Amino acid sequence: MADQARPDPVAQLGAGSKERRLTPRQARRLRIALSSVGMAAMAVVLALRIASRSSVLVVGVYGLALILCGIVIELSRNGRTRLGTWLLAVGLVAAIGSDWLLIP
């Protein structure tokens, strides 16, 4: 009888719906993985840019992007996945945009 009182989460999506959503744990792990990949990519780009031309601006832009990826990992670990997703997207676009616009 207690089982009937609890609604089935799959039934809430609709009978004909094939939509599957991530659980909060899966969402956190996905954001952590994406942030880790972004952090590794920024580290590689930073090393390549420093090898081609050493500049304080290059280190600053990519250093801030690395710090941002670390912040997003911590936010995801604490359950703030939506905020982390927005920060990661906006921050990486800003880093790439500033590289394109500011660094010769």
pLDDT tens-digit readout, 69-80: 888 888 888 888
Dihedral pair phi/psi, residue 54, rounded to 5°: -85, 120
Higher pLDDT residue, 88 or 54?
A: 88
Cα first-last separation, the chain = 70
- pLDDT of 78: 87
> Are 58 and 49 in contact, with CB atoms under 8 Å apart?
yes
Q: Which residue has the tokens 């710090």?
A: 67
pLDDT tens-digit readout, 13-60: 555 556 788 888 888 888 889 889 988 988 898 888 888 877 788 888
CA-nearest of 80, 86, 71, 76 to 30 is 76
Domain boundaries, the chain: 22-102
Q: Which residues contact 91 (CB under 8 A, 6 or more apart)?
A: 64, 65, 68, 69, 72
pTM for the predicted model, two decimal places: 0.67
- pLDDT of 5: 56
Q: Kindly tell me if the per-residue pLDDT of 9 is higher than 60.
A: no
- pLDDT of 17: 57
